[in-house]
C-alpha cells in the first residue's frame, strides 16, 4: 500500500513538473493566439465604430460578407494562390534541395546563394520586382523581351498572369529557407544507401526516386500544410504590386480583411474580424484533414 502511494505521488510529481515547464509557453500561446482569436470572434458579431463594440448583430456581418462579390472573388483568388503555390512554391524548394544535395563541390556556396533572397527585406524585394515587371520603358522584362522583338506589355495588368507572377515572387523570396529545411532532412539519410545504389548501377534519378523522396516524405507532408497556411495569409505582395487589381483579380482574403479595417476609410472592424474568423476556420479544416490523413498513414505503417 505504501509503495502504491509512493508511485502515485511520483507520477503526480512528474506530471506537475511537466506542466510547470510548459506553463510559460501555454500562457504566452494563450495570450498571443487564443485570446486575440476569441476577441475576433466576439468582434465579428458586433457592429463597430472603429474598435468600439456598438451593437450586437449576431451573424449579420458574415451574411453581408458572403453576399458581397468582392469576398467571393477574394476567396476564389486565395484558392488560386494555393493551387499555384502547390505547383510552384511547393516543388521549387524540393528541387533546389535535391540539386544541391547531388552537388559534389561548393555546397556551402550554393546554400548561401539559395538563402540570400530570404534575407532581403520583403518590401524592398517587392519594389524591385515591381520595377522588373513594369509596363514602362524601364521595365526590365520588357527590355529583355524587346531584344527578341516581342512587344511591350503590362504583365501585372493581365488577370490570367497576375496570380502566377505573385506566387513566383513569393517563391523566390522564401524557397531558399524551405530548401535548407529539406537539406537538413537529406543530411539524415544514411550515405551507405546511396553508395549501395551507385554500386548497383542506379543513376541520379533512381536514387532520388527510391531513396531521397521516401526519406523526406513525412517532412514534405508537414511542409505542405505549412505552405497552405502561409499562402492563405498572403497580403503585402498583392497590396504593393497591384493593390488587389486588376479588377480584384489578385485580391486575397487577407488583403480584403485589411481593406475592411483600414483601406476603405470606413474602418469596418466587425466585418474585418469576420473575414479573419473565416480564414481561421478554413485553415482549421485543412489542418484537421492533414492530421486525420497523417494518423491513418501512421496506423497503416
Residue 299 in domain: no
Ramachandran category for residue 267: left, alpha or beta (phi over 0 → left; psi -120 to 50 → alpha)? left
Same domain, 42 and 163: no
Same domain, 236 and 187: yes
pLDDT at position 9: 61
Residue 2 in domain: no
Same domain, 49 and 179: no
For residues 262-283, average pLDDT: 84
Residue 79 in domain: yes
**pLDDT tens digits along 194-233:** 778 778 777 777 877 888 888 888 888 888 888 888 888 8
Same domain, 83 and 119: yes
pLDDT at position 207: 79
Q: Which range of residues forms the domain containing residue 35?
A: 8-56
Ramachandran category for residue 243: left, alpha or beta (phi over 0 → left; psi -120 to 50 → alpha)? left
Res. 104 pLDDT band, cuts 50 70 90? low
Same domain, 71 and 32: no
Same domain, 71 and 137: yes
Residue 301 in domain: no
CATH number at residue 132: 1.10.3720.10
pLDDT at position 80: 92
Residue 1 in domain: no
Among residues 23, 41, 56, the one where a domain terminates is 56
- Over 80: is that where the pLDDT of 1 sits? no
For residues 165-184, average pLDDT: 86
Res. 81 pLDDT band, cuts 50 70 90? very high
Same domain, 49 and 101: no
pLDDT > 90 in the chain, percent? 5
Same domain, 93 and 162: yes
Of 221, 249, 229, the C-alpha closest to 76 is 249
For residues 132-148, average pLDDT: 80
**pLDDT tens digits along 114-132:** 888 888 887 788 888 888 8
- Over 70: is that where the pLDDT of 2 sits? no
The structural domain count of the chain equals 2
Is pLDDT larger for residue 193 or for residue 3? 193
pLDDT at position 292: 81
Same domain, 44 and 145: no
- pTM beyond 0.75: yes
Residue 300 in domain: no
Residue 67 in domain: yes
Residue 89 in domain: yes
pLDDT at position 8: 65
Same domain, 52 and 67: no
pLDDT at position 98: 81
Q: What is the mean pLDDT of the chain?
A: 82
Same domain, 21 and 131: no
Same domain, 13 and 102: no
- Over 70: is that where the pLDDT of 241 sits? yes
- C-alpha count within 13 angstroms, C-beta hemisphere, residue 85: 24
Amino acid at each position: 500500500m505504501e509503495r502504491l502511494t509512493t508511485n502515485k505521488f511520483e507520477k503526480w510529481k512528474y506530471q506537475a513538473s511537466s506542466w510547470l515547464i510548459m506553463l510559460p509557453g501555454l500562457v504566452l500561446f494563450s495570450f498571443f493566439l487564443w485570446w486575440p482569436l476569441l476577441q475576433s470572434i466576439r468582434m465579428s458579431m458586433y457592429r463597430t465604430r472603429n474598435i468600439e463594440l456598438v451593437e450586437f448583430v449576431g451573424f449579420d456581418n458574415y451574411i453581408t460578407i458572403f453576399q458581397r462579390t468582392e469576398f467571393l472573388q477574394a476567396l476564389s483568388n486565395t484558392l488560386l494562390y494555393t493551387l499555384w503555390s502547390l505547383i510552384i512554391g511547393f516543388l521549387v524548394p524540393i528541387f533546389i534541395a535535391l540539386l544541391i544535395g547531388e552537388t559534389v563541390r561548393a555546397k556551402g556556396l550554393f546554400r548561401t546563394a539559395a538563402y540570400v533572397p530570404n534575407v532581403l527585406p520583403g518590401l524592398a524585394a517587392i519594389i524591385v520586382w515591381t520595377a522588373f515587371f513594369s509596363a514602362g520603358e524601364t521595365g526590365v522584362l520588357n527590355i529583355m523581351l524587346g531584344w527578341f522583338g516581342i512587344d511591350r506589355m503590362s504583365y501585372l495588368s493581365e488577370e490570367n498572369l497576375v496570380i502566377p507572377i505573385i506566387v513566383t515572387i513569393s517563391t523566390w523570396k522564401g524557397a531558399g529557407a524551405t530548401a535548407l529545411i529539406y537539406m537538413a532532412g537529406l543530411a539524415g539519410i544514411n550515405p551507405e544507401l546511396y553508395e549501395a545504389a551507385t554500386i548497383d548501377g542506379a543513376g541520379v534519378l533512381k536514387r532520388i526516386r527510391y531513396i531521397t523522396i521516401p526519406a523526406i516524405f513525412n517532412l514534405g507532408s508537414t511542409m505542405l500544410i505549412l505552405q497552405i497556411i502561409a499562402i492563405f495569409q498572403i497580403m503585402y505582395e498583392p497590396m504593393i504590386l497591384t493593390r488587389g487589381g486588376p479588377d480584384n483579380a489578385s485580391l486575397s482574403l487577407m488583403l480584403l480583411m485589411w481593406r475592411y479595417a483600414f483601406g476603405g476609410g470606413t474602418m469596418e472592424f466587425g466585418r474585418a474580424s469576420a473575414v479573419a474568423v473565416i480564414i481561421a476556420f478554413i485553415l482549421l479544416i485543412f489542418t484537421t484533414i492533414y492530421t486525420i490523413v497523417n494518423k491513418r498513414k501512421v496506423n497503416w505503417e
